[in-house]
Structure 1
Amino acid sequence: MSDRQTPLLGPDVFARRQERLRQELITRKLDLFIAAPSTNFQYFAGYNPGRSERLIAVFVPAKGGSVIVCPSFEVERLTRNAAVQDIRGWEEQEDPWRLVRTALGEMKPQHGRAELALEHTFDYASYLRLAGVGGDWHIQTAQPVSERLRIIKYPEEIALIRQAIAITEASIAATFAALQVGMTEREVAGRLSEEMRSRGAPGGGLVQFGPSSALPHGGPGGPKLAREMVVLIDAGSPVEGYASDITRTIWWGDAPSEEFKRVFNTVHDAQTAAMQFGKPFTTRCQEMDRTARKVIADAGYGLFFTHRLGHGMGMDGHEVPYLVEGNETRLEPGMVFTVEPGIYQIGKFGVRIEDDCLMTETGLEVLSHRVAKL
């Protein structure tokens, strides 16, 4: 379990988040939100106690105060760290669902059907127990609720993301500088993690050499490092729970091949086109993807761009909004997302350039430092 807190985010931040959650529940005609330990738990309660086989849950009603139900031996830890005053513990020999039944009874509306929004990380067995003690509570997914609230980042969140980006960029640069002939992908990945820890953040990433770089999510096990070889690093280092996600691809040697330069510059052009196209309130996520994809297709590499253009980023490394065909969500100020086109030629090499972006009132801001064309 993790004891990571969010000390840069004061109790007032979580009080505002819980109030916004209550307003969202009222707007959607919902009466209660329940989350198991997860990033949603941390987002609203200010702390993530970690997954456990023992029942831990936060209850946020549309009207009234929030409640956490947890094992009695966890009460002190949650009292110290969570932004919830009413914490109810159950003893090991007790049935924890007794406390759940009591909380549901207290939070049930007096009239009409009771509507409960359940966070998606609840396991199925817990869902069945909840349905059993919930009586006539109607259970539905809380995903639209939490996604709507978390998709827009507030200044304190953006500040933490900027810190995470700075650590990741410095760590990637230091790792590239430490490359030596004969190193394995696993060794370089270890060095990357050490660089991040030395800068005050846990983290790591994918390291891929040569043909291994043509696998978008390839793991360690590729060839040992040699001169005149492609090296791809995809990395992130969270700061107080907020992520960064950056990919850099280099030619490690004296003279990049003409094919590498052509592919690299095509990917760079695709990223530039998408970034320039993105506008607040008007640009849809799928249009960002289409814009980048057209550049790559026009260059003859369309079949080798095999994933979506990007994804949202915050407390989860991958979250809404997703820049993908079929997503008609319009980009709004406060949304943070990656723009990461790639070209992957199996048996040869792959190139991905990934930067982190913020949509503002006036346009797209690149939070990371873009690399230059070759």
Structure 2
Amino acid sequence: MRASKFIRNDTFHGFGRADNIGRTAGRGQDDGAAGVCDGGRGDRGAVPNAAQEPTLAPEVFSRRVERAQAELNSRKLDCLIATPSTNYEYFTGYNPGRSERLIAVVLPAIGKPVVVCPAFEVERIKQHSALTDARGWEEQENPYKLVRSVVRELKPHGNGVIALEPTTSYGVYVALADQLSGWKFVDGAPVTERLRIVKAPEELALIRRAIEITEAAIAATFAQLAAQVTERDVAQLLSREMQQRGAPGGGLVQFGPSSALPHGGPAGPKLERETVVLIDAGCRVAGYDSDITRTTWFGDSPSAEFRKVFNLVHDAQTAAMQLGRPLYTQCQEMDRAARTVIRDGGYGPCFTHRLGHGLGMDGHEPPYLVEGNETRLEPGMVFTIEPGIYQLGKFGVRIEDDCLMTDTGVEVLSHRVAKL
């Protein structure tokens, strides 16, 4: 359905902006579940070259390499090897995508990083990447021998320890281990997670912009809802609204009983009046994501049950936001705070997912706000707070906002909605 066919002729409840609850407790917004673009997969795959060209200054990537080398040295690791993935992109500013042809960056604890790639890809890699030392292998050659040669340049004598980027395929690992016999391979996740979990100012600026676009697109989409549209119609409209604002994106759109499925797809009934509408959306700006969920009532007057559930979810989100203290509050404590409010309100079993997740180059990344995670929130960490109540066969309510831990507490980067 074309966007021009969406006509605003109804009243929405549960979408208006609320007053701030304080700079450290947030500019407020709803928290929601997962469902953004890449699904939290470690490797988002390639996107068009124009969108992948580095938009951050070259010195940003130089600093990232320096920090990675310091982390490698502190862990007594000789190098990190990453194939195309979010982590590869973090160091190079470009994700060429994975295929049967090996592309890998070898980032040493001492020395300059080297990209190993097919010979015919060398110029493309140099053109789009922040790293300029790209070495090519010919089609008839074993590419892993070139990786071995690069590693041996960095450590000519003896064997060492290699941190392998965590989404690297098993086949790549086996081939590397065959060429680097005697070398020890370890999980590179502790290295890459430590580097990415605290956002730099330039990263925060991109996340803030993605949030602005997402909020505007959601508002524009709600304003064009009309009876008898489908979830798919609205999802397409949402995506167009983001594209018109300069960012690729989209999200989940769920009506009525469909909203009780946290990750339900666009296959529900057509929109009727006096119905719950849930939109979980995000976009990407220069490689950085947003993730916001808004739940509203399409019709004249929200039901008493919807008001009760909506306000309880809002209270749960507020409790978590107000609890957060830098270098003190554990991720699991945030989850407990929100879950306690919902449990005490009589809906404990209906809160079926974790409270939130980290946000950055991946839609889902550390830190995860979930029971059992004792990680303490640090200044610079960005995460969602998204409690929800889901009643199968009836409706669900989720409020998701993107938050930043500061030196004084939680700052809500998006705009919170008001209670009903």
Sort the TM-score into its range (normalised by shorter chain).
over 0.9
1:14 aligns with 2:58: no
Distance 2:406 2:248 in 1: 29
Match of 2:23 in 1: none
User: SS where residue 237 of structure 2 aligns?
Assistant: helix
**In the TM superposition, what are the counterparts of 1:250-329 in structure 2 within 5 Å?**
250-329=296-375
C-alpha displacement of 1:107: 2.2
Match of 1:77 in 2: 124
Match of 1:186 in 2: 232
C-alpha displacement of 1:6: 5.2
Query: Cα RMSD (Å) of the superposition?
Result: 1.0
The one of 46, 53, 63 equivalent to 2:100 is 53
* Partner AA of 1:63 in structure 2: I
1:96 aligns with 2:173: no
Describe the shift of the 1:319–1:256 C-alpha distance in structure 2 as closer, same or farther (beyond 3 A): same
Distance 1:214 1:109 in 2: 59
1:149 aligns with 2:188: no
- Contact 1:69–1:89, Cα closer than 8 Å, also in 2: yes
C-alpha displacement of 1:100: 1.2
- Contact 1:31–1:109, Cα closer than 8 Å, also in 2: no
Identity %: 69
**In the TM superposition, what are the counterparts of 1:144-223 in structure 2 within 5 Å?**
144-223=190-269
Distance 1:359 1:6 in 2: 29
Distance 1:236 1:302 in 2: 27
Distance 1:368 1:252 in 2: 22
C-alpha displacement of 1:80: 1.0
Distance 1:300 1:73 in 2: 62
Distance 1:6 1:321 in 2: 27
* Partner AA of 1:360 in structure 2: T
**In the TM superposition, what are the counterparts of 1:120-159 in structure 2 within 5 Å?**
120-159=166-205
1:247-292 per-position Cα deviation (integer Å, ceiling 9, x unaligned):
0000011110000000000000000000000010110000000000
1:208-237 per-position Cα deviation (integer Å, ceiling 9, x unaligned):
000000000001111110110000000000
**In the TM superposition, what are the counterparts of 1:105-120 in structure 2 within 5 Å?**
105-108=152-155, 110=157, 113-120=159-166
1:27 aligns with 2:52: no
Runs of at least 4 residues of structure 1 off by over 2 A?
A: 4-8, 107-111
1:17-47 per-position Cα deviation (integer Å, ceiling 9, x unaligned):
0000000000001001011101100101111
Match of 1:44 in 2: 91
* Partner AA of 2:395 in structure 1: F
Q: Which runs of 5+ in 2 are unaligned?
A: 1-45
1:297-323 per-position Cα deviation (integer Å, ceiling 9, x unaligned):
000000000000000000000000000
The alignment's TM-score, normalised by the length of structure 1, stands at 0.98
- Contact 1:175–1:192, Cα closer than 8 Å, also in 2: yes
C-alpha displacement of 1:96: 1.1
Describe the shift of the 1:235–1:96 C-alpha distance in structure 2 as closer, same or farther (beyond 3 A): same
1:240 aligns with 2:286: yes
- Contact 2:351–2:389, Cα closer than 8 Å, also in 1: yes
Number of aligned residues:
373
Distance 1:73 1:13 in 2: 28
- Contact 2:54–2:94, Cα closer than 8 Å, also in 1: no
Distance 1:208 1:228 in 2: 14
The alignment's TM-score, normalised by the length of structure 2, stands at 0.88
- Contact 1:6–1:241, Cα closer than 8 Å, also in 2: no
Match of 2:133 in 1: 86
Distance 1:78 1:193 in 2: 30
Question: Relative contact order (C-alpha < 8 Å, sep 6+): which is higher?
Answer: 2
Q: Which runs of 5+ in 1 are unaligned?
A: none
